Amino acid sequence: MSAPVSPGLRSGSLPLLVALMTLLAGLSLAGLTGVQTLANGWSGAARNATTIEIPSDTPQIQDRTSTLIQTLHKTPEVTAVQELSPQQVQTLLAPWLGEVSGNGHLPGLSLPVVLIVAHTGTPNLGSVVHEALPEAVVEEDRRWGERLNGLGSSLVACAWLAVSLIAAIAVLSVGMTVRRSVMAQRKAVEIVHFLGAADLTISSRIAGRAALLSLGGGLAGLLLLSPVITMLARKLAPFSHGTPTTISPEGTWGDMIVTWWNTLHVLPRMLLEELGALPLLAACLGWITAQTVVLVWLRRLP
């Protein structure tokens, strides 16, 4: 241990405080990643699909629908055209029309033909469809995509706001804790100051200790966060074309750690990096806050 030239930081509550802040920040980051993934998925799916509805009273509906499907297949940027079966259309409309009776037909109602066109980019399908079949209604999902994109952006902004608020609260809390500690050791700090210690000598020792305690708190917070993150990873596994891995109770600790690590790999790499950086970020935040608080406090002394 280095020789003391200034009082250190005495605070039992700082690691606990930072651990809780790390937990909150980790949850917010995980939420933020989830929201970003969903928003991207929503806007991507909606942007690349168009629904075409052909009313049931259209003359020669079967032939003209087949012609339209062939035309669509020949259109550049169209990747797939799917005609929904009457069963699928009923399922699609069930929220508006109610449950279908046992015979599979809605009483007194003939169903339209529904085509789902998948495409890349933004082909002008409206003119292609209306040329072949003027009665068809084209539902450009792009508008929904834009709306979903707007909603997704708002949710992402909210999540970022939450992360920023947590960082601000962490800075305030660390600042108040450091200040309380300095006040408790005021006499010792004054003795060292009046013996000729440089302000930076005093503040660096306190800030170093604050950084160390914050790092410890950050690591503890990460440990608290790991069950939640593991659960999130298991929920996300099916979306990543993976299957949730199960931990065998008979397995060794090594097996369990490997399984857990594989589970975590389902999560976006960026989230894992951000979570890994949280303790370091907490340490930096603790160091900078403590330096600032102590240096400002020392300016009161002549």
Partner 1 sequence: MIRLLNVSMMPPGVGQPVLRNLTLTVPQGEFRWLLGPSGAGKSSLLRLLTLETRPSAGQMDLLGVSVSQATRSTLRNLRRRIGFVPQDYRLIGEWTVFDNVALPLRLRGASERDTRREAFAVLEWLDVAHLADKRPGTLSGGEQQRAAIARALIGRPELLLADEPTNALEDAQARRLLSTFQELVEMGTTVIVATHNEALVREAPAASITLQDGTLAGSDPQSGIAARRSDNL
Tell me if 186 contacts partner 1 by CB under 8 A: no
What string of DSSP letters covers 160-204?
HHHHHHHHHHHHHHHHHHHHHHHHHTHHHHHHHHHTT--HHHHHH
Provide the angle, in degrees to the nearest 10, between the axes of the packed helices 186-194 and 141-184. 70
* 1 lines the binding site for partner 1 (CB under 8 A): no
**Closer residue to partner 1, CB minimum distance, 176 or 301:** 301
Determine the Cα–Cα distance for residues 285 and 289; give it in Å rounded to an integer. Answer: 6
Alpha-carbon torsion 27, 272, 288, 165, what sign? negative
Q: Could you say which of 144, 199, 212, 234 contacts partner 1 (CB under 8 A)?
A: 199
Of the two residues 5 and 270, which places its CB atom closer to partner 1 in the complex? 5
Residue 253 CB, shortest distance to partner 1, in Å, is 41
By the rule CB under 8 A, 276 interacts with partner 1: no
Are residues 85 and 160 in contact, defined by beta-carbon separation less than 8 angstroms? no
Q: Which residues of 25-92 form beta strands (DSSP E)?
A: 49-54, 78-83
208 forms part of the interface with partner 1 (CB under 8 A)? no
Number of residues that bind partner 1 (CB under 8 A): 16
Q: Any contact of residue 20 with partner 1 (CB under 8 A)? A: no
From the CB of 4, what's the least distance to partner 1, in Å?
Answer: 5
Taking contact as CB under 8 A, which single stretch among the options 4-12, 45-53, 156-164, 246-254 is the one that binds partner 1? Answer: 4-12
Cα separation, 229 vs 7, in Å, equals: 39
The residue ranges that bind partner 1 (CB under 8 A) are 3-5, 7, 187-188, 191-192, 194-199, 201, 302
